[in-house]
Structure 1
């Protein structure tokens, strides 16, 4: 915000009622400090009335018309349950995001004191108008951008600088909304209201719904959208061929067509993904980490650039003394003088706290007659103890005509990231707030930000993982470099003072070149994150101040400390509840567990999607009934996909994330798809040449048993290498299928529910034995080829995905351009 020097206003009367009314009518009023977000009704509509849900709803109605709700028909509705679960998950996620955004507010003061009609009045923040004269004193929050017109105050402007040091404001100086008055009293004239306020601009910049940056979720959406478009024309074609051309039974044709279409959409994978990430969130809570976005654990595991704020992340936000140097005085005597002064002044700031800790073992002594508290304007504090004056402060302020020796000490320690304080004394007493004459240095204190104990190990961990760490701070770049060096960060000499950059282009160019960024403004932090993302990086950002809000919101994964501001915590994906930086490797480990296990589970689901798609295409030309009804796929999916994927997805797994999700899972699914199709083709040939004249139930049984066997082969591959859990899982899913065939329950007929046929003839068993033998050979060959060529074909599939994404982006850009063109024409 630029300095505003126009301070013309009547300080005694302020605005009159007529002037206030005129400004309100002109819209020059603060108004409600909120930004509208998507309504609950809109969230419900957007998540319920989707194309995916519409297709499933139509299919459910068709199934109900031809299947009914008895035991034979109920098994056909399994896909509806998954559809409902996916819809509820989407609604809950977006409602949580809305709740978080609605809480975001940088202005917490409900009232403000103003002068109107010559009287001091307390009004609501929303009623403040342009040119109002506000009264500010210690503890008040500045609710609108203003300029000081009378008096002086010390203001905490962490909103702008990110550093908590108070700044003195005199008449003519500007004040930012959202800042706090630390001390003093002043009158200020309001110069911005409503959306023009600095705090409101930050709130507005952060109050938008950002979809989770999840490669897995985006990949699943691509698959579902693609299949949702494919199944409509394919379903119509399949039904038409089977019913009108091949003359199959209407009821059977409808159910088997629906079964083929339902099997093409991996809806269960969406639900499983949400469950896995929800459990990750629960596990992270045990490590004192709150995940506000359940996909953030995945994103952090994929991060390749980590942007850290110095204060509160690498440092604790407190100071510590790293040593002292006395002048003609013993260290013991120096510390006693320091203790006496500390107890006399009773300052409450980070420096004073560090001094108190350092001399805590000493006892204070002496009679105090004069006390001068620390002021950021004076840069020193002092007291008269037993008739002698003691002053503690910055050498350049305590000794304005600083000797070369003192300058040399200050320069030397500044290179090490240490601030230098001097303790001086004089026989002449302090009068008012002026330094006494005759001051002599008793010694120097070297003080610095306290590095978090866990910071060096955590930085080393990310370096070992190939993550580039950058420090972005509002502090002096030399100081930031020294702190980073003490914390063990590599490449600490690559620094830049962001106050020297004048254009956005310079900031964007600096993003990749430098490791340490000092004197960074909030909009520059945002620009740095955007530039890194534009260069293809997955960016994580940590912060704790209001000045970090915009950059936190923009980053792929944002992390806030519990000790930070409410605004930073509200927009962050992760909140470290114990403000412990060491928790981040645990989040990465949890993300790896989720990604690696879901890659394995996703391949199981894509096997079903792949073979159902190919079956539909194959049976457009094969004059035979379709292999499955929906109820067959319910059991088939349960024993070969649902149960195995659910258990495998929850295993411990700390392996590095390698490869791209979608190409990897597609290629991993290929052996299973080919094996199933080999079984289906073998059964088609058999029923057309050897076992002709089989009933529909007998044909369904052959297709089912061939497919379930191929599915078990792929489960075997997914469980490899075997351990006790994998062995129990593999044997268990086989045993479960056997039980479904032979167990009789009083309350439900399992065989009718899943459409299982038990009247298999010896001839059919012989065919199955031959087919199963063929499938073992086919699968073994595909497994061997997969090991040899998988990575190569992943690259090919990845290139195809990139081309499709690029084409999609071009189409979207053209649409946006046309919309803009139509709007421009309408405005004319």
Structure 2
């Protein structure tokens, strides 16, 4: 009978996908075990959409009904429709009257029965997709299954615009695929090569693309995606090709994955900006000292003093902060934009202190101390700006470092090469401290305006090219 023949096929198959596992479990539950010895096995092919096994009594097929029956599928469409309408996946089990099955079906096919699969939607699926919708992340569902079935499952999962679906077998050119990206959410009967083309089409449209998958047919697309996520329950080859593997195969962890990625990138960006300030300052001040022939005003201990409390310790603590803000722009550009005003302010302030010191005949030791304290003030201004938006944790980080700097400056002066200051030196320190705040604020505004102007010019350029 049909169940016995199907069991023979299932237990003879070399496929180890979820479909075959489900069929084996069903056959075992009703205590029917296959015992026929296969003569020839053609594993399921994502390109052909079916697999076949040849026994002594003939060749049997299992796969997508429309691909096996081709033009004759219309006779059975009404039988399949009720299942696809409620989101069930339907496969056709049939007998093939030919023997050359590896390239295409050329002989008569005798349908034996349909096999319907139901994929229960996880309880947290809708919540997960709603999160991505709230983050303005577009979701495209690409599957090798019947597009109507996939659409119904996507609707049940709460995916926005999931009723807009298309059969990818109609998309026979790159241009059609690119146009379909704007009009459809669900893509059915997609081949592995088409999945890759879909990823590339989205990237050409300016999107950052993440691809999730669990099968060998997803590997091509995952390799080209900006971020690839595999399920541990899927194929090993897919897991090897992915950048991230969900060990419990639960897609509900994706928001946590996004949060962690944002925390790492945003905090590294913030810490990198702090460290780059010192590099910009050191480089430019070295050039100025060589050009204007003055002694570099700071001792290594003094630079360490400033760096410890305005860069090193706060950079470490801020790197541990939770940060769910969306990653925006280019990493290097963002780091440079945040660091440039602070670095330039330090250079201008220290150079002005050196000039003033020579005018008022202040000793080199005092100039170094004044420069160190003014740089500390600028450092905390930079730290406050980079830490925005401020909360109680960030206020605490800043306060702890201010207290640490004051404590070290008062009790460990010799260690950090700090000297006593005369009244004129203290007056200069106060004046340059206030002046540095104004310079930093205006440089920050200037850099922000230049960035806005650049983005507007770039946007106009892109529109003119289109």
Counterpart residue number, 2:97? none
Counterpart residue number, 1:773? 434
- Maintained 8 Å contact 1:563/1:579: yes
Matched, 1:686 2:369: no
Question: 395, 399, 404: which one pairs with 1:731?
Answer: 399
Counterpart residue number, 1:795? 452
Q: What does residue range 503-518 of structure 1 map to in structure 2 within 5 Å?
A: 503-504=173-174, 506-518=176-188
Q: What does residue range 586-597 of structure 1 map to in structure 2 within 5 Å?
A: 586-597=256-267
Counterpart residue number, 2:60? 377
Counterpart residue number, 1:24? none
Give the CA deviation at 1:593: 2.3
- Maintained 8 Å contact 1:676/1:707: yes
Give the CA deviation at 1:563: 0.6
- Mapped partners of 2:13, 2:88: distance in 1: 31
Give the CA deviation at 1:766: 3.2
- Maintained 8 Å contact 1:512/1:532: no
* CA distance 1:525–1:408, shift in 2 (3 Å): closer
SS in 1 for 2:295: coil
Counterpart residue number, 1:330? none
Counterpart residue number, 1:41? none
- Maintained 8 Å contact 2:155/2:163: no
Q: TM-score normalized by structure 2?
A: 0.73
Give the CA deviation at 1:775: 2.8
Question: 588, 601, 604: which one pairs with 2:274?
Answer: 604
- Maintained 8 Å contact 2:354/2:367: no
Give the CA deviation at 1:674: 4.4
Counterpart residue number, 1:308? none
Aligned residue-pair number: 404
SS in 2 for 1:730: helix
Counterpart residue number, 2:377? 709
Counterpart residue number, 1:758? 419
* CA distance 1:716–1:541, shift in 2 (3 Å): closer
* CA distance 1:556–1:467, shift in 2 (3 Å): same
Unaligned runs of 5+ in 2: 1-10, 17-36, 92-113, 460-466
- Maintained 8 Å contact 1:663/1:797: no
- Mapped partners of 1:509, 1:456: distance in 2: 28
* CA distance 1:420–1:739, shift in 2 (3 Å): closer
Q: Describe the superposition over 1:370-396 as per-residue Cα deviations: whole angstroms up to 9, x where unpaired.
A: xxxxx99387xxxxxxxxxxxxxx9xx
Counterpart residue number, 2:52? 168
- Maintained 8 Å contact 1:410/1:419: no
Q: What does residue range 86-485 of structure 1 map to in structure 2 within 5 Å?
A: 138=12, 152-157=39-44, 167-170=51-54, 377=60, 408=78, 410-418=80-88, 448-485=118-155
Give the CA deviation at 1:529: 1.5
Counterpart residue number, 1:91? none
Q: What does residue range 24-43 of structure 1 map to in structure 2 within 5 Å?
A: none
Matched, 1:532 2:215: no
- Mapped partners of 1:556, 1:712: distance in 2: 37
* CA distance 1:598–1:481, shift in 2 (3 Å): same
- Mapped partners of 1:731, 1:675: distance in 2: 22
Give the CA deviation at 1:670: 4.4
* CA distance 1:158–1:791, shift in 2 (3 Å): farther
* CA distance 1:641–1:420, shift in 2 (3 Å): closer
SS in 1 for 2:139: strand
Q: Describe the superposition over 1:737-772 as per-residue Cα deviations: whole angstroms up to 9, x where unpaired.
A: 34444557xxxxx945x5x13344444333223322
- Maintained 8 Å contact 1:480/1:516: yes
Of stretches 704-713 and 605-614 in structure 1, the one that deviates more from structure 2 is 605-614
Give the CA deviation at 1:668: 3.1
- Mapped partners of 1:509, 1:601: distance in 2: 42
- Mapped partners of 2:156, 2:290: distance in 1: 70
Unaligned runs of 5+ in 1: 1-136, 143-149, 171-183, 187-374, 380-393, 422-443, 745-749, 803-828
- Maintained 8 Å contact 2:230/2:242: yes
Counterpart residue number, 1:348? none
- Mapped partners of 1:546, 1:410: distance in 2: 27
- Maintained 8 Å contact 2:43/2:52: no
* CA distance 1:620–1:670, shift in 2 (3 Å): same
* CA distance 1:552–1:407, shift in 2 (3 Å): closer
Counterpart residue number, 2:100? none
RMSD: 4.2
- Maintained 8 Å contact 1:604/1:641: yes
Q: Describe the superposition over 1:619-638 as per-residue Cα deviations: whole angstroms up to 9, x where unpaired.
A: 34433112335444333222
- Mapped partners of 1:559, 1:472: distance in 2: 15
Counterpart residue number, 1:570? 240
Give the CA deviation at 1:154: 4.9
Give the CA deviation at 1:656: 3.2
- Mapped partners of 2:204, 2:396: distance in 1: 47
Q: Describe the superposition over 1:493-515 as per-residue Cα deviations: whole angstroms up to 9, x where unpaired.
A: 43332333444554455445432
Give the CA deviation at 1:544: 0.4
Q: TM-score normalized by structure 1?
A: 0.43
Give the CA deviation at 1:799: 7.6
* CA distance 1:419–1:574, shift in 2 (3 Å): closer
SS in 2 for 1:157: strand
- Maintained 8 Å contact 2:15/2:43: no
Give the CA deviation at 1:546: 1.1
Counterpart residue number, 1:782? 442
- Maintained 8 Å contact 2:349/2:432: yes
SS in 2 for 1:627: coil
Q: Describe the superposition over 1:532-568 as per-residue Cα deviations: whole angstroms up to 9, x where unpaired.
A: 2233211100100111112112211101111111111
* CA distance 1:160–1:669, shift in 2 (3 Å): same
- Maintained 8 Å contact 1:417/1:479: yes
Q: Describe the superposition over 1:768-801 as per-residue Cα deviations: whole angstroms up to 9, x where unpaired.
A: 233223334444x438x63xx6654323455899
- Maintained 8 Å contact 2:212/2:222: yes
* CA distance 1:185–1:554, shift in 2 (3 Å): farther
* CA distance 1:467–1:606, shift in 2 (3 Å): same
SS in 2 for 1:452: coil
- Maintained 8 Å contact 1:660/1:798: no
- Mapped partners of 2:405, 2:61: distance in 1: 82
